[in-house]
Structure 1
Amino acid sequence: MKTNILLISLYYPPINSIASNRIAAICKYLDPESFDIDVVTLLSDDAQPYENNKNIRIFRVKDTSFFRPFRFLTRTNKVLHNAKALWNILLQNIFPEYSGWKKNVLKTIASLQNDKHYDIIFSSYGPSAPHEIALKIKKTSDAKWIADMRDEMSLNPFLSPRKRKKLARIEQLIFDNCDMITSVSKPILEDFRTLARDKAEHIRFLEIRNGYDFPLRTHDSFRNGLFTISHIGSFYGERNPSNFLSALSLLHKKALLPSIRVNFIGISKPISIPDNLRSVINVSSSVTHYDALNAMEQSDALLLIHPTTGNKGIYTGKLFEYLGMKKPILALIDPNDVAADLINQTNAGYSGDNSDIDTIQQNLLRLYHEWEANTPRYFNIELIQKHHRKEQIGRLENSIIKLLHE
């Protein structure tokens, strides 16, 4: 008999995000002979309300909330972008989040439960709405509940104190009721274990990293006529390219990078480009996942930016696709966190703190000179292959089987 899974996530294709890719990979790689999956997700403008694909049914539910957050899909001017961001912050702190969607999802699930018994409830954060829905269902269900914490909740340093306090309350309810917590890294899992205190004794904790979902690239001889370094994805909060641009501007003034092109792809937030770099920088708005992968493949190096916050366990989802592309990485990240460790272990590039302009310059010059000399890079292929989505979801499948047989 198959195991029935109810998967609740705000994000799912065709919504274009790393969160969507994570949930889609779960559906793709869990054994179809062993699992039937019902996905309940958000209805977006370009999607069908219902799909049925072999062992996967997708129910896309409309958000009828009066107050709804803005999505940053296209590049806008600074005033409009800041106005949208301010509205979303106010929405998070004043009004119930996705209240209309939660209400409609609960009705949808109640209807589904009339015809099907679920063995597993799998809900994915963020936002907290999927977990809040799972909490209500768990109270009247004997299903095992897996709470997927892709990122920190109450420990997220970019949230307001009021929002963190609200999430802390939800966390404790999750710890009271869930059977397993998954997250993208061991440090984040350990933070949840600490927050759970004695409640952690009845919870399984499992690291399921994000990953890449394409054949490992084999284009070792690829080389552009100009050294092309690309950043794929949006900027938000404290994550921005200002320090990278400062370092690049200093090198450009010294004529140390005579043949360089920089691409910022998938940008919605306006960025300030120094005058002396306007001829070498290209900026484009949101692109499809296919186009994003193609842009990575057509680059000589890839740029990763995440400022040091003191919180540990931050990989950022795009790192794994960068690794799968086998492109050298310039990482402006916490040099003492998991992402820097993985880049070192895979021999995939160079890391330095986002605030360290001198190190950014040194690492950028190293990559440029390696491109100039056409120096081969010997990646740790075996380790990179372990970060394919199929490998990561295989670990989840094994844990689900164990959970059901407890």
Structure 2
Amino acid sequence: MFVFAAHHLSSNIAAQRFKGLLKYLDPAKYRVFVFAREPAAEMTADTAPSNADIQLYPLPGHCVGSESSAAASLLTLAAAFMRPLPFLLANGRAGTHPWLVQALAEADRLCSEKLAAGESCVVIGTYSPVDALIAAACLASRHRIGCLQDFRDGLVFEPLGKPGRLRAWMRQLIEQRVVETADLITSVSHPLVDDFRRRYPNKVTAMLPNGYDPADFASLGADFAGDSRAAAILARHVPAGALLIGHFGRIGASDGSASKSLDYLVDTLNDSTETAANKHVMFVGELTASELASLERARFSFSVLGQVERALALHLMKCCDKLLLLTGSRISCATGKLFEYLATGADIVCISGVRNEATAILAETGAGQTLLTGEGSPGGGALRAALSPSFADAHRDIAAYSKVVQADRLDHWISKMVQP
């Protein structure tokens, strides 16, 4: 199995999507090659122990996006329409190539070897960035092997990229090209899956939601150093006896409309001293300049810790009485942090502009409740009730979002691709 997952070695929550799934595949059945980008110099790659035979290829080079030059981006996008192109370029100086070319050079060599040895091969591309989808399409086309194209985010439906007619047109063309080679399209939320089924009725599309890895949370109990660090942070930032409400990860940096939900939270707590009394809101992760400015208006107890390594974030998450989810106007939103929230067992409070995939999951699992910013005025009793220590749902069921369960589903799909 060849997996193009550019974020695999990053600290981004996106990295957890396939990192957790692949390690639960049967090592007697699967040999897995993962092509990722090299982690930034200040990061250390998180390569958790795995039962599967997994080989990682951390490769340099830019991907399509704000960091990439126009020339590099055009070459990668052109490869969606001229699939032999990156293979023709692979013989030049490797250090000067975009990530796509370097990843395909390694994958092409390995795939040729495995096919010559009589092994069955499949390829997976996971968006974003779009480079991974293009790489998977190129490899599948070259070797005529099974292909799964995974859309963690919407490329056409509720896209995360910059707006504009030309960009929208290009996204649609590129999506059509990468989907053309796919035996299976997977996506994370019902709105995205429904959209793919409507626009590509001749393709098989299935739901592969994000999830949590039980092993991540099982290991926390033996991490005494992490416990001590988390306790020291809480002692420094959280008033004694306060109900701790934690928000982890990004807000508007991922979805600009979600910042409005932060404004709603600030206004509501400012307008109701009763609701804010004896509570502390802790933000762990990257906030935008406008979000920090919004918090400067806060008249309640809060702290901003900035980014921390994932293991420490999980320790802090486990210490929270409530976990805060802020979403905006995207109905397909099923942000990765939600599933780690589910695994902690704490009650989740979601403030959202619309009812979306995340709010549906909370209702389905009994793991929390939702407040819509358009319903009621700030200072109302809804937030006060949601933040009540007594709120709980006796029918909590999160089993469907375990990576162990999802790996079985992935195994079933892959097996159908290679077995007539």
Say which of 390, 393, 403 aligns to 2:417.
Answer: 403
- 1:12/1:357 Cα in 2 relative to 1: closer, same or farther (>3 Å)? farther
Match status 1:317 vs 2:336: yes
Q: Which amino acid aligns with 1:166?
A: M
Q: Structure 1 CA distance, aligned partners of 2:136 and 2:357?
A: 30
Would the aligned equivalents of 1:41 and 1:61 in 2 still touch at CA under 8 Å? yes
TM-score normalised over the length of structure 1: 0.80
Match status 1:211 vs 2:211: yes
- Residue in structure 1 matched with residue 234 of structure 2 by the alignment: none
Would the aligned equivalents of 2:269 and 2:300 in 1 still touch at CA under 8 Å? no
Q: Secondary structure at the match of 2:377?
A: helix
- Residue in structure 2 matched with residue 378 of structure 1 by the alignment: 393
Match status 1:261 vs 2:280: yes
Count matched residues: 367
Would the aligned equivalents of 2:128 and 2:152 in 1 still touch at CA under 8 Å? yes
Say which of 373, 387, 405 aligns to 1:391.
Answer: 405
Say which of 158, 164, 169 aligns to 1:165.
Answer: 169
How do residues 184-195 of structure 1 correspond to structure 2 at under 5 angstroms? 184-195=188-199
- 1:124/1:261 Cα in 2 relative to 1: closer, same or farther (>3 Å)? same
Match status 1:8 vs 2:4: yes
Q: Structure 2 CA distance, aligned partners of 1:177 and 1:274?
A: 47
- Residue in structure 2 matched with residue 353 of structure 1 by the alignment: 372
- 1:92/1:64 Cα in 2 relative to 1: closer, same or farther (>3 Å)? closer
Cα deviation digits, residues 144-179 of structure 1 (max 9, x gap):
000011121112244323322212111111232110
Q: Structure 1 CA distance, aligned partners of 2:395 and 2:328?
A: 26
Query: By how many angstroms is 1:245 displaced?
Result: 4.0
Q: Secondary structure at the match of 1:121?
A: strand
Cα deviation digits, residues 101-150 of structure 1 (max 9, x gap):
11211222232234222511111111110111122222221210000111
Say which of 248, 251, 261 aligns to 1:232.
Answer: 248
Q: Secondary structure at the match of 1:115?
A: helix
Cα deviation digits, residues 230-288 of structure 1 (max 9, x gap):
11011214144444344444444442122111111112422214556266121122221
- 1:32/1:334 Cα in 2 relative to 1: closer, same or farther (>3 Å)? farther
Q: Which amino acid aligns with 1:232?
A: F
Match status 1:145 vs 2:147: yes
Taking only aligned residues, the RMSD between alpha carbons, in angstroms, comes to 3.2
Q: Secondary structure at the match of 1:105?
A: helix
- Residue in structure 2 matched with residue 31 of structure 1 by the alignment: 26
Q: Secondary structure at the match of 1:263?
A: strand
Q: Which amino acid aligns with 1:395?
A: R
Q: Which amino acid aligns with 1:205?
A: T
Cα deviation digits, residues 201-222 of structure 1 (max 9, x gap):
2x321211111112679x9xxx
Q: Which amino acid aligns with 1:378?
A: D
Identity fraction in percent? 21
Q: Structure 2 CA distance, aligned partners of 1:56 and 1:124?
A: 17
Query: By how many angstroms is 1:186 displaced?
Result: 2.5
Query: By how many angstroms is 1:27 displaced?
Result: 1.5
Would the aligned equivalents of 2:261 and 2:353 in 1 still touch at CA under 8 Å? no
Q: Which amino acid aligns with 1:113?
A: C
Match status 1:282 vs 2:278: no
Say which of 177, 193, 196 aligns to 2:181.
Answer: 177
Q: Structure 2 CA distance, aligned partners of 1:336 and 1:7?
A: 33
Q: Structure 2 CA distance, aligned partners of 1:17 and 1:331?
A: 21
Query: By how many angstroms is 1:33 displaced?
Result: 1.7
Q: Secondary structure at the match of 2:343?
A: helix
